[in-house]
Amino acid sequence: MKKILFVLLLLPFLGIAQNTDSSFAWFKKNYIKKEIMIPMRDDVKLFTAVYIPKDQSEKHPILITRTPYSCAPYGENIYRGYNNHYNEYLKEGYIMVVQDVRGRWMSEGTFVDVRPYIENKKTKNDIDEASDTYDTIDWLIKNIENNNGNVGVFGISYPGFYSTEAALSNHPALKAVSPQAPVTDWFQGDDFHHNGAFMLMDGFSFYSGFGKPRPYPTTIGPKGFDMPTKDNYAFFLRTGALQNFSKLMGDSILFWTNMMNHSNNDDWWKARNARNYVQHILPTTNTLVVGGTFDAEDAFGAQNLYKAIEAKAKNNNKLVLGPWFHGGWARGDGSFLGNVQFGSKTAEWYAQNIEIPFFNYYLKGKGSVDNIAEANIFFSGENKWHQFQQWPPANATATPIYLQSHGKLSFNQEINKTVSSDQYVSDPSKPVPYTDGVHVGRTREYMDDDQRFASQRTDVLTYQTDILDKDVTLAGTLVADLMVSISTNDADFIVKLIDVFPDDFKYSDNDKYVMNNYQMLVRGEVMRGRFRNSFEKPEAFTPNKPTEVKYTLPDVAHTFLKGHRIMVQIQSTWFPLVDRNPQQFVDIYHCKDSDFIKSTIKVYHNQSKIILPVLK
């Protein structure tokens, strides 16, 4: 069986889709396709597919996507299928450009994952993704006839990273850039690490295919790992310690090897963190950062790239967060995710009211961007779009909600002179699954899945409020502030914020899933305990000593409606989403199966709280 997760991660960003026969016929009738090897400053040539309108009545803007996922289909007579709102760019007469990045597919050169940005380039061999973008733009505006001299760049996921790097290119023709679900920081929050914890399932599934070396330009993609079973929980548990996955991976996949040898947030990781360089974005480059609040891969990237640009750059920078899975605004209508419904076609609203007007205004001088606010945020729960002058909004107040005895959760701190606590035994041989059921690949729906299966486990602590007598709206960053003690010298902590629906809740009589008392995951995040004070310098716990573990979770935009409850769950495994912590202060990337031991985790009441960004 071909590895499914790698395919799922890859396909949405190829841009290959089945158009309706009429729209595809219109595309071929009104556009010509050219395949060009565009020279870079160091004489490496990048394979580029350019779709050019036949219309000569006006000059056309250029819209570029740079990708490691292939600009297929190859052949000047074989056209790419643009789906969803991308067809609008064709109708608007954009010159559409898709490029294989350096070292991938049909481009020359050597590929480097999240290639570091070079701040002070001195020779023609000082190349990075920003310089490759500059050279591409420069060649296009000088050689593609009938262009209007205005260029935009956009892309989702890894192409979102290349969009950020494009914004750093500082080409004067580049007017608008939209990094969407952008890969931004692969140690703290995107794809392969969250707060230093290795995201095992995605890391192994993706790199066992994507990471294979490409010895020469090719139109044939790599094959991923052949899963021996459709039960991923069983496979990952049976395989064991990370070094066993490294043996399965082999020694040819460079980035996997590098990840295994850079276990802390050292200079190697920092050089690959795009947030560290956004101060170089020109004031004339307009940016639109787009993300999904239920994005399993890069929710962190969109939110924190936006914040970094706000803090460091001086350009016009906007944010959009919708109730989407990874890339959900560009495929599907955004009306639901898994069992949870959002009440409208949110993806269509975004395309027509934000993305298309953004590019039309800055690249064509058409229309207006007055209706695009600084922050355009969809709130699940109430299922409404809100617009703010900043994100997080100024009127969001950090409000603690306390963990209390008997599974209670309250905005009022319990008056109790004695120290009380709950405890559980975290057993790495029986880790808490990240979602219910049996799956071969990582599900995207786990981001708002029902958590009732976890509530039933003895190694998950569950706390909930009384039924709410008024709406509670959260807007911004969550903070988990736990007082804990552990019987070993390391452990992970997973905190989950959950919306408990009423006992009689249903969307309609046709619901395929029982929504009565549904426990909707609103936000969950892991913290590798050793990084509680520093991602650069991990620290062991002193066994049985009360210790604070405080960390931020990705931003939330959600309303807990009157009649619902707020729930918090705490656990120490989330498998196989996150690799298992041996619960000893050892090198997790090279430890043995025998290093995994049980740990008794104690969580202290009242001293432990979740700090909620309550919108007033």
Confidence (pLDDT) at 20: 63
Token representation of residue 593: 């199966």
What pLDDT was estimated at residue 105?
98
Is residue 58 exposed (0-12), middle (13-18) or buried (19+ Cβ within 10 Å)? exposed
Would you identify the CATH topology of the domain 4-185+273-388?
Rossmann fold (3.40.50)
Q: Check whether 12 has a pLDDT greater than 90.
A: no
Percent of the chain exceeding pLDDT 90 equals 94
**C-alpha distances in Å from residue 527, one per residue of 74, 194, 197:** 44, 7, 7
Q: For residue 221, is pLDDT > 60?
A: yes
User: In the structure, what pLDDT confidence band is assigned to residue 432 with cuts at 50, 70 and 90?
Assistant: very high
Average pLDDT, the chain: 95
Rounded to 10°, the helix 232-239/242-249 angle is: 100
Please report, in angstroms and rounded to a whole number, the separation of the first and last CA atoms in the chain.
52
pLDDT at 77 over 70: yes
* Cα four-point dihedral sign 350, 352, 354, 360: positive
**Phi (first) and psi of residue 151, to 5 degrees:** -125, 140
pLDDT higher than threshold 90 for residue 296? yes
Using the predicted structure, report yes or no on whether residue 55 has a pLDDT greater than 50. yes
- pLDDT in the model for residue 24: 84
pLDDT digits (tens, 9 = 90+) for 308-339: 999 999 999 999 999 999 999 999 999 999 99
Q: Which pLDDT band, with edges at 50, 70 and 90, does 85 fall under?
A: very high
Tens digits of residue pLDDT in 515-571: 999 999 999 999 999 999 999 999 999 999 999 999 999 999 999 999 999 999 999
What local confidence, expressed as pLDDT, does residue 426 receive? 98
Is pLDDT of 11 > 80?
no
Confidence of residue 356 (pLDDT cuts 50, 70, 90): very high
String of DSSP letters for 106-163:
T--S---TTPPP-SS--STT---HHHHHHHHHHHHHHHSTTEEEEEEEEEESHHHHHH
Equal fold, 4-185+273-388 vs 396-615: no
Domain 193-267: give its CATH code. 1.10.3020.10
Q: How is the chain split into domains, by residue range?
A: 4-185+273-388, 193-267, 396-615
Place of tokens 């996949």: 253
The pLDDT of residue 17 is: 44
Query: Can you give the pLDDT at residue 502?
Result: 98
Percent of the chain predicted with pLDDT > 70: 97
Look up the CATH number of domain 396-615.
2.60.120.260
